[in-house]
C-alpha cells in the first residue's frame, strides 16, 4: 500500500467524477481540464489502485467491482472536505454579486420568484438569479452542485439530497366566465367539458403523454380515476401559463391554486374549487450535499424558506 503522503488527493476528485460520468471526455469537461490530463489521471489511478477502474464494453465505459465499492466512500471523503473548508468562506449578502442557479417549473418560478425578488432587492441588490427549466437539468446536475437548488414537485429523491418542503398547495379550476360549467357546476358537467392537462414534475427531459395511462397522468387524473371517472383531455402541456391561457379558449384548466390565483383578476376567467377532492401538491426545494455548508448557499436557502413561509 502506498504511503498516503505520496498520494495526490486530487486523484480522488478525478475518481469521483469518472465514476459518475463514466466517460473521460465528459469527466474532463466537468473539472475544466483537458482530456489528456484526465486520461493521465485515470492512468495514475489505475497504477495506484492496481485496477482498470473503467472498462470499455458494448454499453460504453463501465466501472469495475473495485471501483463501484469505492464510489460511496470517495464521495463521503469529498463531502467531508467540503464541509471542513466551506464554513471558512464568508458571505456578505449586501455586497455579493453571486449568481444563484435555480431549476424551477414555471409554477414555482411564477409564484415564488416575484416575492423572492422583493427580498433580494432589500437584502442583496447585486445578487442575480439564473432560472432554468426542469428539462434543462439532470439528476447529476443537482447531485454535482451545478445548480444551487431545484424547486418542484418530486416523486422520488435519492437519500443523499438535502430537501426542504416549502409549501403545500391545493387545486383550483380556471374556466371562462361564460363557460356552461359556471352556470351548473357539477362533477358531471366538469367531465363533459374539454380539458387542458398540465404538469412538470421532477427534472430531466419529459416524455410523451398517453391519455389512457392514468397512472402517469398525475394527481388530478388519479383522483378522478379513484372515483371511476376520466376527463376528456384535449391538450397536454408542461407549461402552467400555457394552460391558463388556453382556459380563455374554453378549455377547463385544473391546476395548483397559487398558479390559478395569478389570473384571479382576469376579466375573462373565473377561479373555482374543483368538484372533487384532489390531494395537495407539495413544493420541495432540494440541493446537493456538496453545497450544504457553503455560507452563501445557507443564506440563500433561508431566504427562500422565509419567502415561501409568507405565501
Q: Are residues 137 and 54 in the same domain?
A: no
The tens digit of pLDDT for each residue in 85-130 reads 655 567 899 999 999 999 998 899 999 999 999 999 999 999 999 9
Q: Which residue has the higher pLDDT, 287 or 202?
A: 287
**Residues 157 and 298 reside in one and the same domain:** yes
Range of the domain at 239: 171-279
Cell numbers representing residue 248 in the block: 380563455
What pLDDT, on a 0 to 100 scale, did the predictor assign at position 210? 59
Q: Cα–Cα distance between 132 and 147 in angstroms, integer?
A: 9
- pLDDT at site 147: 93
Which pLDDT score, from 0 to 100, does residue 84 have?
A: 72
70 and 120 housed in the same domain? no
Assess whether 196 and 275 both reside in one domain.
yes
Residue 144 counted as domain residue: yes
* Among 296, 258, 251, 311, residue whose Cα is nearest residue 124: 296
Mean pLDDT on 148-170: 88
Asked if residue 92 belongs to a domain, the reply is no
> How many domains are contained in the chain?
3
150 and 187 share a domain?
no
Check whether residue 164 and residue 286 sit in a common domain: yes
Give the pLDDT score at 136: 86
CATH number at residue 26: 1.10.10.10
90 within a domain of the structure (yes/no): no
Identify the CATH number of the domain in which residue 305 sits: 3.40.190.10
C-alpha closest to that of 102 among 126, 134, 127: 134
d(CA 233, CA 197) in angstroms, rounded, equals 6
Q: For residue range 6-63, list pLDDT tens digits in order.
A: 678 788 989 998 998 899 998 888 788 889 989 999 999 999 899 999 999 988 899 9
Q: Are 104 and 62 in the same domain? A: no
Q: Who contacts 26 (Cβ-Cβ below 8 Å, separation ≥6)?
A: none
**164 lies in the same domain as 177:** no
What count of other Cβ atoms lies within 10 Å of the Cβ of residue 31?
17
Instruction: State residue 220's pLDDT score.
Output: 92
Which three cell numbers, joined as nine digits, stand for 39? 486520461
Residue 211 domain flag:
yes
Same domain, 12 and 77: yes
Task: Among 85, 109, 127, identify where a domain stops.
Answer: 85
Q: Based on the domain organization, do 163 and 287 belong to the same domain?
A: yes
Residues 175 and 255 in one domain: yes
The confidence score (pLDDT) of residue 168 equals 95
Q: Which helix (H) or strand (E) holds 258?
A: helix 257-260
C-alpha span between 172 and 45 (Å, rounded): 56
Res. 179 pLDDT band, cuts 50 70 90: very high
pTM over 0.75? The answer is no
Find residue 195's DSSP bridge partners. Answer: 233, 252
> Residue 87: how many CB atoms within 10 A of its CB?
11
% residues pLDDT > 90 (the chain): 60
CA-to-CA dists, residue 54 to 11, 187, 220, angstroms: 14, 58, 45
Amino acid at each position: 500500500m502506498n504511503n498516503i503522503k505520496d498520494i495526490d488527493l486530487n486523484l480522488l476528485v478525478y475518481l469521483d467524477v469518472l465514476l459518475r460520468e463514466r466517460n473521460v471526455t465528459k469527466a474532463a469537461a466537468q473539472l475544466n481540464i483537458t482530456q489528456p490530463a484526465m486520461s493521465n489521471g485515470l492512468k495514475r489511478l489505475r497504477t495506484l489502485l492496481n485496477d482498470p477502474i473503467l472498462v470499455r464494453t458494448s454499453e460504453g465505459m463501465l466501472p469495475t467491482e473495485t471501483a463501484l465499492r469505492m464510489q460511496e466512500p470517495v464521495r463521503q471523503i469529498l463531502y467531508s472536505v467540503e464541509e471542513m473548508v466551506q464554513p471558512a468562506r464568508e458571505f456578505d449578502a449586501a455586497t455579493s454579486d453571486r449568481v444563484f442557479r435555480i431549476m424551477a417549473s414555471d409554477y414555482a418560478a411564477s409564484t415564488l420568484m416575484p416575492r423572492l425578488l422583493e427580498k433580494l432587492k432589500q437584502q442583496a441588490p447585486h445578487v442575480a438569479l439564473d432560472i432554468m427549466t426542469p428539462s434543462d437539468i439532470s439528476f447529476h446536475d443537482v447531485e454535482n452542485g451545478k445548480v444551487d437548488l431545484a424547486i418542484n414537485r418530486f416523486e422520488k429523491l435519492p437519500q443523499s439530497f438535502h430537501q426542504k418542503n416549502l409549501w403545500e398547495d391545493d387545486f383550483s379550476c380556471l374556466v371562462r366566465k361564460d363557460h356552461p360549467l359556471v352556470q351548473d357546476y357539477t362533477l358531471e358537467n366538469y367531465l363533459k367539458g374539454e380539458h387542458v392537462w398540465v404538469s412538470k414534475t421532477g427534472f430531466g427531459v419529459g416524455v410523451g403523454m398517453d391519455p389512457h395511462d392514468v397512472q402517469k397522468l398525475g394527481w388530478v387524473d388519479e383522483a378522478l380515476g379513484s372515483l371511476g371517472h376520466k376527463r376528456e383531455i384535449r391538450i397536454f402541456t408542461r407549461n402552467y401559463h400555457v394552460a391558463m391561457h388556453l382556459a380563455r379558449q374554453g378549455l377547463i384548466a385544473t391546476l395548483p391554486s397559487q398558479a390559478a390565483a395569478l389570473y384571479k383578476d382576469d376579466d375573462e376567467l373565473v377561479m373555482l374549487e374543483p368538484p372533487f377532492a384532489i390531494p395537495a401538491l407539495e413544493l420541495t426545494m432540494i440541493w446537493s450535499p456538496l453545497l450544504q455548508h457553503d455560507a452563501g448557499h445557507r443564506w440563500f436557502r433561508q431566504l427562500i424558506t422565509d419567502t415561501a413561509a409568507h405565501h
